[in-house]
Amino acid sequence: MMQAFVWNVRVYWEDTDAGGVVYHARYLHFFERARTEWLRSLGVQQAKMAEQDNRIFTILNMNIDFVQAARLDDELEVSVHSAHASGARMTFDQAIKRRSDGQLIAKTNVSAACLRADKFKPTRIPEWIRAEINHAK
């Protein structure tokens, strides 16, 4: 199992509903940003990958468990862990925890595919990216 990559975020007004509770769709934003920063930490810059390698990633499937609500001003830790890449597919797990008490807020398992940027057709993940993801275990 890979060591978790953790990205920190604070809950702002724009993330909440009228009651100060994080709106459910905002968790998708938090998960996405953490995945992007995780890839960046591995040397994968997605804009550069699209331009130079003609590759992009797309999400195939996400199963999300909402465990407890996050609230305005909470500091959250969004993690990426248990990643694996093979062929044209990546799978990984993510979790959001509140920093102050370690309470699990939400968790998801994600399946992503690599596509040709020009045709949106499945293609193999570049070998160097697969190696970085699988080596991080």
**pLDDT tens, position by position, 73-128:** 999 999 999 889 999 999 999 999 999 999 999 999 999 999 999 999 999 999 98
pLDDT at 137 over 80: no
pLDDT tens column, 14-31: 999 999 999 999 999 999
pTM: 0.93
d(CA 43, CA 96): 23
- As separate numbers, helices (DSSP H) first and strands (DSSP E) second, the chain gives 3, 5
- Selected catalytic residue, list 17, 65, 73, 118: 17
Q: What's the confidence (pLDDT) of residue 125?
A: 95
pLDDT at 136 over 70: no
**Domains of the chain with CATH codes:** 5-135 (3.10.129.10)
Is 74 marked active-site?
Answer: no
Asked whether 41 and 81 are in contact (CB, 8 A), the reply is: no
Retrieve residue 73's tokens. Answer: 């001003």
Who has greater pLDDT, 1 or 4? 4
pLDDT tens column, 26-78: 999 999 999 999 999 999 999 999 999 999 999 999 999 999 999 999 999 99
Retrieve residue 64's tokens. Answer: 């999300």
Q: What's the confidence (pLDDT) of residue 76?
A: 98
- What is the dihedral sign for C-alpha 28, 3, 56, 123? negative
